[in-house]
Amino acid sequence: MKIIFLTTVLLVAEGVWSDESAPTVEIVTPQSVRSQVTPKAPDAQPEGQTSSPTKSPSDSMDYWENDDFVPFEGPFKDIGDFDWNLSKIVFQENKGNAILSPFSVKLLMSLLFEASASGTLTQHQLRLATPTISTHYQSREFYKNIFNGLKKKSNDYTVNFGTRIYVDQFITPRQRYAAILEKHYLTELRQEDFNKAHETTEKINNWVANVTNDHIKDLVKEDDVQNSVMLMLNAVYFRGLWRKAFNRTIQLPFHVSLNESKTTDFILADGLYYFYESKELDAKILRIPYKGKQFAMTVILPNSRSGIDSFIRQIDTVLLHRIKWLMDEVECRVILPKFHFDLATQLKEPLIKLGISQIFTSDASLPSLARGQGLANRLQVSNVIQKAGIIVDEKGSTAYAASEVSLVNKFGDDEFVMFNANHPFLFAIEDETTGAILFTGKVMDPCL
C-alpha cells in the first residue's frame, strides 16, 4: 500500500521602500559593467540630486543596530550535510531555476524514523537525513528547538508551518504514534474517506493554501488520493523583511550564460554586510540578514559567469560551515536581481541517491504507522513531492532608474566591496538560532 509525501513551501523576502531612505545620489554599479553603461563625471549630477557622500553609512545615527553575527554551533551543527547534499542533486537535475526546502523533507523523514522498526535497514537509512541524531529522544529535542524558534511571534517576519498526515478511513493509526507526532512534531493525523477523492483533495489543498497564504493551492491531485492510503504533508511559509532595506531599483543585464544576457530589475543597498571571498570555491559569499535577528540569506556567487555548474559539483558542507567563521563585516554595495519562481520536484530518486531507498520498496519496515501487523508490513512510500516558491523584491517600489548609470565608489575607501549578482548564483535561508536551513535555491535566470 502506498504512502505519498507532499511538501510545500513558499518564501517571500522583501525590503521596505521608504521615501526617507531613498538615496539622492547617482546609482553605482561595479567595474564589471562599466563597458555596458554610459559613465558620467562625479559632478555631473541630475537636477535635484546631490553629490555622493564620502562617509560610511555606518557613521550615520540612522544606520541599523550593529549586526553581531555568530555562526550556529551546537550538538547538531553537522545537520546541514544532508541539506546541501540533497540540494546538490536537485540543482544538478534541474538546469533552470530551482528551490528546495531541505528542512521540510528532513522533517518528513523524521516522522518515518519514528515509525520504523528498531535496528532495521529502514531505520538506518532514515537516519542519513539527520546523521548526528541516533535516537528518538535526540530527534524530538532537535525539532523542539526548531519549532520553538519558528513559533516566535514577530512584527518583522511571518513564519507559518504545519504538518499533517491524512490516512484512508479504513486504516487505524497507532495511538502512541499519533500522540508522539502531535506532542513532539506538531503533526496532526486525520482520517478521511479516500474513496471521495474530490472532496478529500479539496480539504487537503485548502489546508495547504491556508498555511502558504494562498500562494500554493493545488499541491494534491485527485489521483494522489485515489492511488494511496496515506498522504504525509508539510507546508512552510516564510515572509521576511530585509534588515537593511533595498532602497533602489535599477535595470541591468543579467548574464544567463557566457553568450546571452537579459535586462532585468535589480535591487540595490549600501551598508555593512558579512562577506568572504573563497579561493577554494572561487566564489564570493555574502550574508543578508532579515529583520528580527533570527533569519538570514546567504548568497553564493561564483566568480566566473559560467562557474555555477562546477561550483555545484564541488559543494563542500564542511568548507561552507568554516567560511561562516571567516566572514568579515565590510562596507558593501549589494546588487541583487528581483526574482520570483516556483518548482515542483519529485524527490524519490534524489533520496535514493543519498542512500534512503528501502522506504520505497516492499521491504520497508514501518510498523508503528498503523495497527494490524499485516497492514503495517505492507506500507511503503511511493514518492516524495515538493512544491516550493520564492519571491525576492522590495516592497512598493515603483520608480525605476535608467539603465545608464554612473560609476563611483560611494564610500571612498579601499575596503569597499561590490557584490553584483549579475550571473547565476545559489542562496540559502537559515534560522541562525538553530542552524536549520529552511530553503536552498539556484537562480539561473531571474526573468523566468
* Pair (283, 325) in one structural domain: yes
Q: Over 90: is that where the pLDDT of 51 sits?
A: no
Q: What is the CATH number of the domain that holds 126?
A: 3.30.497.10
Say if 282 falls within a structural domain.
Answer: yes
The number of folded domains in the chain is 2
* Pair (116, 183) in one structural domain: yes
Confidence of residue 357 (pLDDT cuts 50, 70, 90): very high
Q: Over 90: is that where the pLDDT of 203 sits?
A: yes
Q: What is the CATH number of the domain that holds 252?
A: 2.30.39.10
pLDDT in the model for residue 407: 32
* Pair (38, 110) in one structural domain: no
3-state secondary structure the chain: CEEEEEEEEEEEEEEECCCCCCCCCCCCCCHHHHHHCCCCCCCCCCCCCCCCCCCCHHHCCCCCCCCCCCCCCCCCHHHHHHHHHHHHHHHHHCCCCEEECHHHHHHHHHHHHHHCCCCCHHHHHHHHHCCCCCCHHHHHHHHHHHHHHHCCCCCCEEEEEEEEEEEECCCCECHHHHHHHHHHCCEEEEEECCCCHHHHHHHHHHHHHHHCCCCCCCCCCHHHHHCCCEEEEEEEEEEEEECCCCCEEEEEEEECCCCCEEEEEEEEEEEEEEEEEECCCCEEEEEEEECCCCEEEEEEEECCCCCHHHHHHCCCHHHHHHHHHHCEEEEEEEEEECEEEEEEEECHHHHHHCCCCHHHCCCCCCCCCECCHHHHCCCEEEEEEEEEEEEEEEECCCCCCCCCCCCCCCCCCCCCEEEECCCCEEEEEEECCCCEEEEEEEECCCCC
* Pair (234, 252) in one structural domain: no
* Pair (166, 236) in one structural domain: yes
pLDDT in the model for residue 299: 96
* Pair (328, 349) in one structural domain: no
* Pair (353, 206) in one structural domain: yes
* Pair (424, 285) in one structural domain: yes
* Pair (319, 272) in one structural domain: yes
pLDDT in the model for residue 86: 94
- pTM, entire model: 0.81
pLDDT in the model for residue 134: 87
pLDDT in tens, 279-331: 999 999 999 998 888 899 999 999 999 889 999 998 888 888 888 889 999 99
* Pair (249, 236) in one structural domain: no
Q: Over 90: is that where the pLDDT of 11 sits?
A: no
pLDDT in tens, 377-415: 678 888 788 888 888 876 422 222 222 233 333 344 556
* Pair (216, 95) in one structural domain: yes
Say if 276 falls within a structural domain.
Answer: yes
Mean pLDDT confidence for 59-77: 57
Q: Over 80: is that where the pLDDT of 90 sits?
A: yes
* Pair (106, 164) in one structural domain: yes
Say if 448 falls within a structural domain.
Answer: no
Give residue 345's domain range: 2-13+76-240+341-390
Say if 287 falls within a structural domain.
Answer: yes
Say if 408 falls within a structural domain.
Answer: yes
